[in-house]
């Protein structure tokens, strides 16, 4: 039975309720979500996937993740930055990804912007917006988790100032959650 607090799965482990919904969610919840991610290419992938998720279910993105990785050259910034109009046409015809022109073009644009940065600068910018962990209580229910914070709004503003697209404050907060800048696993969750 799903509640708004932790749910004990068949394996006896308490999880955030969403982490018990499907095998895909359980794997992602237990091994990735909320774990610190560093590295420009790794963070670029997560930022892009969060952007593609906008308006859709995260499960849709998870189930197409390998398709996204194949289509976008493993999200290696230098490779994606070299994509051409022909690559955009290829991506728009690829059933393994979300075929949204604006999101595809934003991904290529963002790679081109980031390709001009000093290696590590993107990681540094992202992590400079992590709020202090101390004093931040563990959420007890989904209602305790915000969609936007001051830090995510500041991160979105900083990314946009650098010319990046599809990086609003809600997407920025989802990125912060996914990449371990904040720990929004519920109190009592084994992954916390």
Are the beta carbons of 40 and 123 closer than 8 angstroms?
Answer: yes
Are the beta carbons of 69 and 80 closer than 8 angstroms?
Answer: no
CA distance 37 to 31: 12
Which of 18, 25, 28, 33 does the annotation list as catalytic? 28
Which of 58, 105, 117, 127 does the annotation list as catalytic? 58
Residue 58 falls in the annotated catalytic set: yes
Residue 117 falls in the annotated catalytic set: no
CA distance 139 to 147: 13
For 118-122, the CB contacts below 8 A with 24+ separation are 119/40, 120/40, 121/40, 122/40, 122/43, 122/44, 122/77
Which of 18, 33, 50, 173 does the annotation list as catalytic? 50
Residue 173 falls in the annotated catalytic set: no
- Catalytic residue numbers read 28, 50, 58
């Amino acid at each position: 039975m799903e509640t708004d607090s932790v749910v004990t799965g068949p394996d006896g482990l308490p999880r955030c309720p969403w982490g018990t919904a499907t095998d895909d969610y359980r794997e992602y919840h237990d091994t990735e979500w909320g774990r610190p991610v560093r590295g420009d290419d790794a963070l670029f992938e997560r930022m892009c996937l969060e952007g593609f998720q906008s308006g859709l279910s995260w499960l849709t993105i998870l189930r197409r993740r390998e398709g996204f990785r194949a289509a976008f050259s493993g999200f290696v910034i230098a490779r994606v930055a070299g994509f051409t109009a022909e690559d955009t046409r290829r991506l728009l015809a690829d059933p393994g990804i979300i075929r949204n022109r604006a999101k595809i073009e934003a991904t290529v644009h963002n790679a081109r912007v980031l390709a001009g940065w000093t290696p590590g600068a993107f990681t540094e910018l992202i992590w400079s917006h992590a709020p202090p962990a101390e004093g931040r209580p563990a959420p007890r229910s989904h209602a305790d988790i915000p969609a936007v914070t001051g830090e995510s709004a500041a991160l979105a503003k900083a990314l946009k100032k650098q010319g990046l697209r599809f990086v609003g404050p809600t997407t920025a907060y989802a990125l912060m959650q996914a990449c371990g800048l904040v720990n929004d696993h519920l109190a009592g969750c084994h992954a916390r």
